[in-house]
Amino acid sequence: MLKLALAVSLSLAAAKRPYTVQDQVNLRRLLAVASSPDGTQLVLTVRDTDYTANRGRTDLWLVQADGSNLRQLTAHPEADSDPVWAPDGKSIFFLSGRTGTSQVFRLSLEGGEPTAVTSSPLDVNAFVLSRDGKSLAFAADVFLDCDLDCTQKKLDEKAKSKASGRLYDSLFVRHWDTWGDGRRSHLFVQAVAGGPAKDVMKKMNADAPSKPFGGSEEFTFSPDGKQLVFTARDVGREEAWSTDMDLFAAPVDSSAPPKKLTTANRATDTSPVFSPDGKTLAYLAMKRPGYESDQLWIRLRDWASGQERELAWGSSPDLLKWSTDGKTLYASAWDDGQAKLFAVDPATAKATALIASGHVAGLAVTAQALFAVHDSLLGPAELVTLPLAGGPVKTLTALNAAAMKDVQLGETEQFSFPGWNGETVKGYLVKPVGFDAKKKYPLAFLIHGGPQGSFGNDWHYRWNPQVYAGHGYVAVMIDFHGSTGYGQGFTDSIRGDWGGKPLEDLQKGLAYVLKQYPFVDGNRACALGGSFGGYMVNWIAGQWPDAFKCLVNHDGNLDEAMAYYDTEELWFPEWEHGGTPWEQHMGYAKHNPVDHVAKWKAPMLVIHGAKDYRVVETQGIATFTALQRRGIPSKLLEFPDENHWVLKPQNSVLWHETVLGWLDQWTAPKK
């Protein structure tokens, strides 16, 4: 019987197929979770792919706290997202584009169709609910001298004009992937029962939430519902080079202008969240102006007196929630290649890791348990739970069970080695599907962006090493100096040294892999990177020209000096290179790939999005021009409808097929 069972097991394993990019674009994605007030139910935001329409669509799902009775709540062709429970637990508020514009809707769990709560002529971009459920605050883009209706009227008049010119008198003429049109994201408050929406930021020349990625985590009602606390960067003409985001408090009736709460700090203050008893405001704060990747510290503000104190916890959290009894703060933070979930004692700052592996991307807190959106290198996000009374982490959902049941993933392994100056550097290796230790495999050497980022133990939809493992490659990712999750000093060390420590770490990391893992064929290796990783590919081309059979550069800079003038968020290059190019010329020239094009020789695939305003398209075209003029085998893949990322499903498939085809072309075994 044992032999028979083993034979069946081997047969089932052999029947499984490698993971592909087609799997990746069609996987169901769990994006967020929110718990009912009594903790018995959870509503999920789930994204499905409409491959034919070439887009994703989000819907709301409901599940019991024990994982039972998972069912879909909404199924509209337009997106339904960002659920918030009513205080009585009988209905759910959410954002939806089902009426042609994005509005807040309310869905009763007792039956019936969703009903609109807001009726703004403009898109509602984010919202929060007051504790008593009677008031709603939402964000919409308006002209400074206008309300919602006035703004729509101006937009209609603009649409009728045959003149297309746009006139600017300050920076941020474009940001991320959008040209500015003079509007600002302002916060409006209205009664849930209906009535006028009042702009609590009237004439304030700032965005709340921040653009391009800020959301409802950046504003909240005070416990009594009389004020709105929000994050904004209100610094006038310095906006494009300042990271001075502050917390403001504004009366919900807009009877007075917003009051700045964090007057002393010239760096970032964000993510306000009140304790259950309403006495303490917790928020996240940086200390160094101009540095977007500085450590975030938890600060606690006594709401009555305004006195503050800091929790001296060493990690840098990016998510913050209170326990229902107010005795614990829960925070997620990158640590040692994992995005862990921590419990932090507000009295002592003692932090305990509750989920120590994988990637925690969302959290709901009840009196009985924690519920987290959790993924890893071995699978996409599912809902997991951790009882507060103790016990193991339990997975509650299997949203991709059917899609993944016949798919085999590559085995993963974290490793470490002595990098720059002998300091410990870590990385991950993913083995090819169907791995055989007696064989030699080509190498996909993936270089992360940021540079203050990480290729850690998480499931990625753009740079997923499992796609390469499924195609027969060993995938290796090095968290070089400058990466996050290994202490703030390690992250800070890349400043002014983009081409130094990181390159040495990559070189020593590759040498370690080739020595430690004899199944990796160093003669069939290709290096790939996006953003900073794309810059590093250009730097490698001139500084390490014989290391790789081919290179792939996605949205990477060729000329760091010119890139300063091309980009939009100027605080980033000014911090990284020590100032402006006219003040610190050598900071930009020290490790500038454009000065070493004469040494290039490795074939390179260049990829760029035309709507990328962070690393502009001409940087990619310039790279391709240099390659072609020097006679180096090269190709340019240009996406006219993508930004710094490739987001559309069919574009993602084309991206991966082109990249894998390029790798195959240059790393195929010699016949």
* Residue 644 pLDDT exceeds 90: yes
- Residue 404 phi/psi, 5° resolution? -105, 0
Q: What is the pLDDT of residue 15?
A: 73
> How much is the mean pLDDT over the chain?
96
**Contact criterion met (CB below 8 Å) for 202 and 187:** no
Q: Where are the domains of the chain?
A: 404-667
Average pLDDT over every residue of 330-337: 96
Determine the 3-state secondary structure of 623 from DSSP.
helix
Tens of pLDDT, residue by residue over 351-372, are 999 999 999 999 999 999 999 9
Locus of tokens 């010699």 = 670
**Contact criterion met (CB below 8 Å) for 299 and 311:** yes
pLDDT band at 12 (very low <50, low <70, confident <90, very high): very low
213 vs 215: CA distance, rounded Å: 7
Tens of pLDDT, residue by residue over 139-185, are 999 999 999 999 999 999 999 999 999 999 999 999 999 999 999 99
> What's the DSSP call for residue 206?
S
Active-site choice (81, 316, 493, 531): 531
The larger pLDDT score, comparing residue 8 to residue 297, is at: 297
406 is annotated as an active-site residue: no
Tens of pLDDT, residue by residue over 316-326, are 999 999 999 99
Determine the 3-state secondary structure of 424 from DSSP.
strand
Instruction: Strands of 22-134 (E only): list them.
Output: 29-35, 41-50, 55-64, 71-72, 80-85, 91-96, 103-108, 115-116, 126-129
> What's the DSSP call for residue 597?
G
Q: What is the pLDDT of residue 670?
A: 67
Q: What is the pLDDT of residue 11?
A: 40
Residue 77, token pair as written in the block:
């062709």
Percentages of the chain per state (helix, strand, coil), in multiples of 5: 20, 35, 45
The larger pLDDT score, comparing residue 389 to residue 114, is at: 114
Active-site choice (374, 481, 644, 656): 644
Tens of pLDDT, residue by residue over 272-308, are 999 999 999 999 999 999 999 999 999 999 999 999 9
pLDDT band at 329 (very low <50, low <70, confident <90, very high): very high
| Cα dist from 205 to 170, 237, 245, 524, 577, whole Å | 12, 10, 13, 54, 29
Q: How many CB atoms lie within 10 A of CB 111?
A: 6
- Residue 220 phi/psi, 5° resolution? -160, 155
Tens of pLDDT, residue by residue over 598-607, are 999 999 999 9
Residues in a beta bridge with 64: 41
> What's the DSSP call for residue 34?
E
Average pLDDT over every residue of 174-201: 97
Residue 162, token pair as written in the block:
């045959």
Tens of pLDDT, residue by residue over 456-467, are 999 999 999 999
Those residues whose C-beta lies under 8 Å from the C-beta of residue 635, and which sit 6 or more positions away, are 605, 606, 658, 662
What is the pairing mode between strands 280-285 and 269-274? antiparallel
Tens of pLDDT, residue by residue over 424-480, are 999 999 999 999 999 999 999 999 999 999 999 999 999 999 999 999 999 999 999
Active-site choice (493, 559, 612, 656): 612
Tens of pLDDT, residue by residue over 506-541, are 999 999 999 999 999 999 999 999 999 999 999 999
Residue 116, token pair as written in the block:
């609109």
433 vs 407: CA distance, rounded Å: 10
CATH of domain 404-667: 3.40.50.1820
How would DSSP label each residue in 289-316?
Answer: TT-TTSPPEEEEEETTT--EEEE--SS-
546 is annotated as an active-site residue: no
pLDDT band at 314 (very low <50, low <70, confident <90, very high): confident
The 10 Å CB-count burial string (b at 16+, else e) for 383-409 is bbbbebeeeebeebbebbeeebeebbb
pLDDT band at 14 (very low <50, low <70, confident <90, very high): low
**Contact criterion met (CB below 8 Å) for 433 and 19:** yes
Helices and strands (H and E) in the chain: how many: 13, 40
Q: What is the pLDDT of residue 669?
A: 78
Those residues whose C-beta lies under 8 Å from the C-beta of residue 310, and which sit 6 or more positions away, are 285, 297, 298, 299, 300
pLDDT band at 313 (very low <50, low <70, confident <90, very high): confident
23 is annotated as an active-site residue: no
Q: What is the pLDDT of residue 671?
A: 54
